[in-house]
Amino acid sequence: MRSYLRRNQGDLLSVPSRAARRVRLAGGFSIVEQIVALGVIGIGMLAVLQAVSFMQFENRASSQRMMAASIELEILELFKTLPYTQITNSTVGTPIYLKQLAGGGGNASWIVPAANAWQPVPVEDTNSTSAADPNLIADKLPGATWRADFTTDPTDATLRQVKVTMQWKLFAGTVRNPVFLTTSTIVSQAYPGL
Q: Which residues contact 150 (CB under 8 A, 6 or more apart)?
A: 87, 88, 89, 160, 161, 162, 163
Query: How confident is the model at residue 134, as a pLDDT?
Result: 45
65-107 pLDDT, tens digit per residue, is 888 888 888 888 888 877 777 777 766 555 566 666 555 555 4
What's the CA dihedral at 105, 109, 114, 116 to 10 degrees?
110
pLDDT at 52 over 50: yes
Q: List, as own/partner pairs, every contact residues 91-97 make where C-beta atoms lie below 8 angstroms and the sequence separation is at least 24, other chains included.
A: none
Task: Please give the average per-residue pLDDT across 52-76, as a whole number.
Answer: 87
- Phi, psi angle pair for 7, to nearest 5°: -65, -40
Burial class (CB in 10 A: 0-12, 13-18, 19+), 65: middle
pLDDT at 110 over 60: yes
Query: How confident is the model at residue 136, as a pLDDT?
Result: 53
Q: Check if the beta carbon of residue 68 is closer than 8 Å to that of residue 177.
A: no
pLDDT cut 70: percent of the chain above it: 63
| Apex 153 CA angle, 149 and 159, nearest 5 | 90
DSSP assignments along the chain, one per residue: -HHHHHHTHHHHHHS--HHHHHHHHHS---HHHHHHHHHHHHHHHHHHHHHHHHHHHHHHHHHHHHHHHHHHHHHHHHHHHS-GGG-S-B-SSS--BS---TT--GGG--BPPBTT--EEPPPTT--GGGTT-TT-HHHHSTT-EEEEEEEE-SS-TTEEEEEEEEEE-SSTT--SPPEEEEEEEEEESSSTT-
pLDDT at 50 over 90: yes
CA-based nearest residue to 146, from 189, 180, 172? 180
Model pTM?
0.64
Task: Please give the average per-residue pLDDT across 33-59, as a whole number.
Answer: 93
